[in-house]
Amino acid sequence: MKNISTPVQYLKGVGPKKAKLLNRLGINTVDDLLYFFPRRYEDRTKFLTISQLKEDETQTIKAKVLVRNQRQSWKRRGFSILEVVVGDNTGKIFCVWFNQPYLKEYFKVGQVVVLYGKIERYSGRLQMNSPEFEIVSEDNDTGPLDIGRIVPVYSLPEGITQRYFRKIIKKCLDENLSFIKDILSYEIRSKYNLLNCAKSFINIHFPESLELKKEAYRRLSFEEFFLFQIPVALRKLRKKEKPGLVHRVEGSLVGRFISSLPFKLTASQERVISEIKEDMASSRQMQRLLQGDVGSGKTVVATTAAIMAVQGRYQVAFMVPTEILARQHYDKIRPQTSDLRPQNKKINVALLTSSIKKQEKETIYQDIKEGKIDLVIGTHALLEESVKFKNLGLVVIDEQHKFGVAQRAVLPEKGPNPDMLIMTATPIPRTLAITLYGDLDISVITELPPNRKPVETRLATESESEAIYKFIRTKTEEGRQVYIIYPIIDESFELDLHAAVEMYETLKKDVFPDLRVGLIHGRLKTREQEKVMSEFIEGKINILVATTVLEVGVDVANASVMVIEHAERFGLSQLHQLRGRIGRGPYPSYCILITQPKTEEAKARIKAIAENSDGFRIAEEDLKIRGPGEFFGKRQHGLSELKIADPLTQLQLLKAARDEAIRLIKIDPALTQGQNSRIGEVLARRFPHYQEYITVG
């Protein structure tokens, strides 16, 4: 077999049935098999005597089979138990396998075996349950794959054993390794002291030593970073080639807008505005990512950029993920800009969402097309084909991670290379920002406005509900408002959780009958959601029961208490976003997490949110807990391609690989020179969603 694109089923020992199981793991070809890396390793090089074994530890022994006995369980009919007693000069131990009767044929009295498993004590005797084993035979000239070495352990589905998988990996390496061409040049490998690909594959799957395993990991991580960064570098190159719009950024409108604000901009906001101003005044297209924690004032920065575009007679599209957020931005930005008059006419701000009536929509479409609307704030409705701009000069996308890659690409196509400002309140550690958004310039608002009150986070259990309700009542008597958040909408018999609808009725009728309790969730019609939010903003509702529909953007200064039920069911970033809805006014604010985390991951999330208020620190903790793929969504960003590399722990390696990717693209952007065509082939195969950037020329 000389083609790594060959379907895996044709590898000896696989066949159609096993191939289907492997396909579920994303292993379709020989190449996929080689790049399916172990999740961990077990050092089985050190044999202990039976007298040296310690309970609750996983250890390796070499011993002789003394007794073999197979019996039926008296508890479960048809359930077999195989017991094998093995011993050495220092003692004996029982080894037990459940419902695997075929194993009886493997063990013969007097045979020498190597066993690896966890040591436990049952009824006063030492025992290994279902240990891995290797029969020691004189004719085993290839060396065992499972014992007496550093052994790889893979994430496998039921139906594929570790022993079987190791065998087909070894077969794959033996048959194909000599035909695989290295995509990293000798120059790069020498420069960074990297192993060649053949030695890397051998030592990532079957390490000859811990040191070589470490070197294989480093080499394969560099390769992944290198491949991942080439499309990023190509995207940046393409964008530089596009001519941008030159905006009039020095008009009086921006100064008048900033001086009219009821607060002073932070130094961070002023710095970011200067960076945006420089971009918009240049002849290249602005492609800037604006990061800022919850409540750091990104919207004011985006509005300032919009005014820069409008004063030069360009239109602005401001896209957000929810209708609640779109309405909130519209209600805030429209009055802020009402007194500004470019070309002796007021700035015309419009709202466009899917719930707007058809006739009103048609009017908005026409006004946008004729250039009568300067700034349109909307949801996915802005992406509709009917929305045509006369002179679109700036696109702002808020909470960009809520939109897919394809969606984000649609809006800029509605204008002549408009500038783009992409915003996120999910802070991304710079390491990952470089990895994912290396084609964008990055601005970060690093401080909160001085009027933002710190939120005190408290942990509680369900047994403390009465005290929490008493605290809520105290705060409402002081004139404050309260959010109570639930993870699901309707009662579920599968999950023992309080549901928003059920608890809304209980709170309204039994707990706070004298207060005004509202309910908002994603299944309510948009008009109903808007009505409830309007009443809460106006102070007509004391307590708002909600689901995560509140996660993004809602801003009510009088709300100073948030109670999150079953907090362990929420993601860390979700909890931080939710908590960011309070502390926006001059009042002391409290976030109460009612939680009883059971898993280690849930405990880690609750600990992180209770101990940290800085969004970037929380994002780092979230990344440690979940990994970059889950943090961002693998499908959206292609992070599933980072099968072995970790940008959090390999920053220097990432930077080196990025430098080499940029150097390559500068010399050969079409990837056609010499062995670079091989890199193009690998990229096209491994990053199909970046094909448009790979095929150049």
Instruction: Give the CA diameter of the chain.
Output: 101
Percent of the chain, pLDDT > 90? Answer: 33
Please say whether the beta carbons of 397 and 440 come within 8 A.
Answer: no
> What pLDDT digit, counting tens, does each position of 13-28 carry?
888 888 888 888 888 8
pLDDT band, very low/low/confident/very high, at 330 (cuts 50, 70, 90): very high
Is a pLDDT exceeding 70 seen at residue 494? no
How far apart are the C-alpha atoms of 581 and 562, rounded to whole Å?
8
DSSP state of 139: T
> What pLDDT digit, counting tens, does each position of 110-119 carry?
988 888 888 9
How far apart are the C-alpha atoms of 41 and 628, rounded to whole Å?
22
Which residue do the tokens 């250039």 mark?
371
The answer to whether 46-148 and 455-612 have equal CATH topology is no
Between the alpha carbon of residue 391 and those of residues 205, 242, 353, 371, 416, the distances in Å are: 57, 17, 21, 7, 8
> What pLDDT digit, counting tens, does each position of 531-559 carry?
888 899 889 999 999 887 766 657 788 99
Highest mean pLDDT among 5-9, 60-64, 189-193: 189-193
Cα of 275 vs its chain's centroid, Å: 28
**Sequence spans of domains, the chain:** 46-148, 255-282+297-424, 455-612
Comparing 528 with 592, which gets the higher pLDDT? 592
How far apart are the C-alpha atoms of 25 and 156, rounded to whole Å?
8
Q: What angle do CA 433, 216, 203 make, to 5 degrees?
A: 145
How far apart are the C-alpha atoms of 237 and 230, rounded to whole Å?
10
How far apart are the C-alpha atoms of 112 and 87, rounded to whole Å?
10
- Region 46-148: CATH code: 2.40.50.140
Q: What is the pLDDT of residue 586?
A: 85
Domain over 455-612 is classified CATH 3.40.50.300: yes
**Overall residue count recorded for the chain in this entry:** 697
Mean of pLDDT values over 454-463: 90
Instruction: Enter the pTM of the model.
Output: 0.64
State the CATH architecture for 255-282+297-424: 3-Layer(aba) Sandwich (3.40)
Is a pLDDT exceeding 80 seen at residue 689? no
Provide φ and ψ at 238, rounded to 5°: -60, -40
How far apart are the C-alpha atoms of 443 and 501, rounded to whole Å?
41
Q: How much is the mean pLDDT over the chain?
A: 84
Q: What is the pLDDT of residue 431?
A: 62
pLDDT band, very low/low/confident/very high, at 633 (cuts 50, 70, 90): very low
